[in-house]
Amino acid sequence: MQAEQLLRLFRDPHKITLEDVQALQNLLQRYPYFQAAYALLAKAACDRDQPGADQAVQLAAVYATDRNHLKAFLENTSAFSTPALEEKASSKVGEYAFMHDYLNTIQQKVQHKITKQESLAQLDSIQAFLQKEVDFNPQSLQAMPHGDFQVDLTQQSTVFHDDLATETLAQILWQQGKSQRALAIYEKLLLKFPEKRTYFATLMETLKHQI
């Protein structure tokens, strides 16, 4: 359902069709907290005097941020004073309020999806990093010259890519007893997020006492 369709329904809610009702129900399956859809469904149920009208109104009231506005919408009256100009203005405010809720709901849904994808990608990176820490061939390790092994170990313990420098990884390394590596990550995070300087500095100080 497009935003233009919703505006049309709010401007003339008495013309809500069965197809509109189905579209609103489908919209609620995607955005279950969308108050505007509940309000329109309640309005349609009341206008048709359907058996489930009371339940639809109660459900709309649960999700409504302003029940006075919802009541005015269902009763087809203005929630403010009666002059025509003020009533028209309040109607526009109501439309924009519901549309703001609609757009905000979609934005939260998209943001949640992006955050979830970023979190999964971050966990994959951490898992791959830790897998490299534990996956090695003991025979090849024994055959490796002592000097080469020492240099490689030094590089492993000091070099971190910025995309792997996360607080989660630092906590994991800390729990594994790899305090120096955890400290190196906290130092990167402190520079990367200066607004959290006090927080990371406290963690670093605590970690230094355990080394």
What pLDDT, on a 0 to 100 scale, did the predictor assign at position 1?
65
Greater confidence (142 vs 194) lies with 194
Q: What are the backbone angles phi and psi of residue 80, rounded to the nearest 5°? A: -120, -150
Domain boundaries, the chain: 3-111, 140-210
Q: pLDDT tens digit string along 65-122? A: 888 888 888 887 543 333 443 444 344 444 445 545 544 554 455 455 445 555 555 5
Separation of CA 102 from chain center: 15
Q: Does 146 have pLDDT greater than 70?
A: no
Structure tokens at 171: 């906590």
| Contacts of residue 31, Cβ cutoff 8 Å, sequence gap at least 6 | 37, 105, 106, 109
pLDDT of 44 above 80: yes
Q: Which of 204, 170, 174 is nearest to 185 (CA)?
A: 170
Lowest mean per-residue pLDDT among 47-51, 90-94, 171-175 = 90-94
Which of 98-102, 136-140, 174-178 holds the top average pLDDT?
Answer: 174-178
- The more confidently predicted of residues 182 and 3 is 182
φ, ψ of residue 119 to 5 degrees: the values are -65, -40
Burial classification of residue 97, based on how many CB atoms lie within 10 Å of its CB (0-12 exposed, 13-18 middle, 19 or more buried) = middle
Q: Is 161's pLDDT higher than 80?
A: no
Q: Which residue has the tokens 């269902």?
A: 74
- In this structure, of 3-7, 81-85, 120-124, 162-166, the range with the lowest mean pLDDT score is 81-85
